[in-house]
Homo-oligomer: A and B are copies of this chain.
């Protein structure tokens, strides 16, 4: 028996491949046999390790949420004592780009979770909303933003705007010619968000001096 610390057991391989396939195509479109083939095992072994396809999906959900929470924790620690501000200092999608390898299945999996009608997706969104509200509060206390007359909606708006990049990633990459969830794409996306959040649409303070 391979020890649990050595993370290349067949079980771990199955989960990783499932994660990748689920994120890319959605659990409904992916068959147990596809996962088994990708992990180079038999279909029977998949269900032996995870009870059922749904059990495997639940395990992937768990992994995704846990990994994401760890990332959130890292960010909070980076920022010092205060709660981490995802908006607009560091957006969520910026955090994903910076702390994850380029081929990580996590963004895609979180996207799928948010779009599914699973309970886990609802919980994830509520969690993100709480973070967004807390961040807006912090920003307001620091005098860097106004909470506005309706802080609940403002926090939701900021969150939705941020998540839009994650949800529309492929479409945006399509029309812009660059994937916004890469360093290169973020270099074009982030300044525009900063401008918008700083002064709205009316004026642009930063002169376009340096190209690329």
Identify the A interface with B (CB < 8 A). 28-29, 88, 114-115, 117, 121-122, 125-126, 129, 139, 144-146, 148-150, 152-154, 156-157, 160-161, 163-165, 167-168, 170-172, 174-176, 188-189, 191-193, 195-204, 206, 208
Contact for A163 among B28, B156, B164, B188, CB less than 8 A: B164
Q: Is the CB of A122 within 8 A of B198?
A: no
**A201 and B146 contact, Cβ closer than 8 Å, known pairs A28-B28, A154-B192, A160-B161:** yes
With A150-B191, A157-B193, A165-B160 in contact, is A175–B145 under 8 Å at CB?
no
Given contacts A153-B189, A161-B164, A164-B160, contact A174 B122 (CB under 8 A): yes
| The one of B154, B157, B192 that contacts A157, using a Cβ cutoff of 8 Å | B192
CB-CB nearest in chain B for A152: B176
Asked whether, in the complex, the Cβ of B199 is within 8 Å of the Cβ of A197, the reply is no
A-B contact pairs, 29 of them (CB 8 A): A115-B115, A115-B167, A117-B170, A122-B174, A125-B171, A126-B175, A129-B175, A145-B202, A148-B192, A148-B195, A148-B204, A149-B204, A149-B206, A152-B175, A153-B176, A156-B172, A160-B161, A160-B168, A163-B164, A163-B168, A164-B167, A167-B167, A196-B196, A196-B200, A197-B200, A198-B200, A198-B202, A199-B199, A200-B200
Q: In the bound complex, do residue B199 and residue A202 qualify as a contact, i.e. CB atoms below 8 Å apart? A: yes
Other than the given A145-B202, A164-B164, A196-B196, 14 more pairs (CB < 8 A) read: A125-B168, A144-B202, A146-B201, A149-B191, A149-B204, A150-B188, A152-B175, A153-B176, A154-B192, A156-B175, A157-B189, A161-B161, A197-B200, A200-B200
Across the interface, which residues of B come within 8 angstroms of A146, CB to CB?
A: 201-204
Knowing A160-B165, A167-B167, A192-B154, the reply to whether A125 touches B197 (Cβ < 8 A) is no
Known contacts A199-B200, A200-B200, A174 near B125 by CB under 8 Å:
yes
For the complex, what is the distance from the CA of A172 to the CA of B164, rounded to whole Å?
Answer: 13
A136 to B, closest residue via Cβ: B201
